Amino acid sequence: MEIGLIHIKELRQGLPIFKALSSEIRIEILGLLTKYDSLNLNELAEKLNLTNGAVTMHIKKLEESGLIDISTAVGKHGIQKICYLHEDLLTVDLKGKEADNLYEYEIKVGHYSDYEAEPTCGLATKDAIIGEFDDPRYFADPQRIHASIIWLSKGYLEYRIPNYLKANQQFSELQFIMELGSEAPGYNNNWPSDISFSINGVKLGTWTSPGDFGGVKGSCSPDWWPLYLNQYGMNKLLRVNKEGSFIDGFRISDVTIDQLALSHAADIKFRLIADDADHAGGLTIYGKHFGNYQQDIIVRVLYDVART
């Protein structure tokens, strides 16, 4: 099972979560969602032996804290609210100090510097499809910089990562946070795809996406985006440091940041690849206005300062 991560780096940042966890009932709700994956309000009320009104109050606090997400679906008795865990893992830095030697920025998913794409493929802004479905020529359209969802059945997307280090500084870790999924015609929740990652041509490893998820509207997806298309992915944390390369804390290779031979003057080219792997199921990347996460590609650079 793949694990999503909430990382609290400073104690005050975590106050909403700590308050949400101060209730035994809300702890029980999280336990039920862990066991059943998702439940609607009626099911939670029944299992907790509480009224719907009481459950709604607790659900609201959990949603505000970011511990759970809520989506709507049409059921036998009208529109239902479906609750599920936002992420599976919560970590807290008790030292309460943000790393000094770090910078972070977001790269829009449409700001790729190179690509190859084979149908099924396409891209869209928050307002409209760019060009036409399954025509790779539109990956070069100037409007692509505004894309907030990109999909391809085979190929790659490459992003140039800004390098702001000085001569006396050395890379210690690179982190990438992205919402990713497979690419099937329409959508298919059981459509595994091996998605690989590389930096400057050095393969960091592979993560297998379990599906191209749909059937339930992505919480950030625009109203015009059809429900018969894919709706959301999985939020993944890729890290390469002096110990190796990891997805959500699981080792995907022994490639370390030292093996990338990056310097303060280095070009950094980060590539997402879907090719002829064991599970050739394509690639979808979700930006700020699609999927379940209000983000593009978050990049963090950690570095050491050489002693003089």
Q: 16 falls in which pLDDT band (50, 70, 90)?
A: confident
Span of 75-79, 155-159, 198-202 with lowest mean pLDDT: 75-79
Per-residue model confidence (pLDDT) at position 129: 97
DSSP letter at 165?
-
Percent of the chain with pLDDT over 90: 67
Span of 81-95, 127-141, 266-280 with lowest mean pLDDT: 81-95
Cα–Cα distance, 50 to 25 (Å, whole number): 10
E-assigned strand segments in 41-93? 68-75, 78-85, 89-92
Q: 2 falls in which pLDDT band (50, 70, 90)?
A: very low
Residue 119 identity (one-letter amino acid): P
Cα–Cα distance, 274 to 198 (Å, whole number): 12
Strands 68-75 and 244-247, by their bridges, are: unpaired
Query: SS3 string of 198-265?
Result: EECCEEEEEEEECCEECCCCCCCCCCCCCCCCCCECEEEEEEEECCEEEECCEEEECCCCHHHCCCCC
| Residue 30 Cα to chain centre, angstroms | 21
Q: 20 falls in which pLDDT band (50, 70, 90)?
A: confident
What structural domains does the chain harbor?
Answer: 5-92 (1.10.10.10), 102-305 (2.60.120.260)
Taking residues 27-51, report their average pLDDT: 90
Write out the H or E segment, with its range, that includes residue 116: strand 114-124
Q: 1 falls in which pLDDT band (50, 70, 90)?
A: very low
124-177, pLDDT tens digit by residue? 999 999 999 999 999 999 999 999 999 999 999 999 999 999 999 999 999 999
Q: 88 falls in which pLDDT band (50, 70, 90)?
A: low
Does the reported pTM lie above 0.75?
Answer: no
Among candidates 66, 69, 85, 88, which has minimal Cα distance to 20? 66
Taking residues 262-270, report their average pLDDT: 95
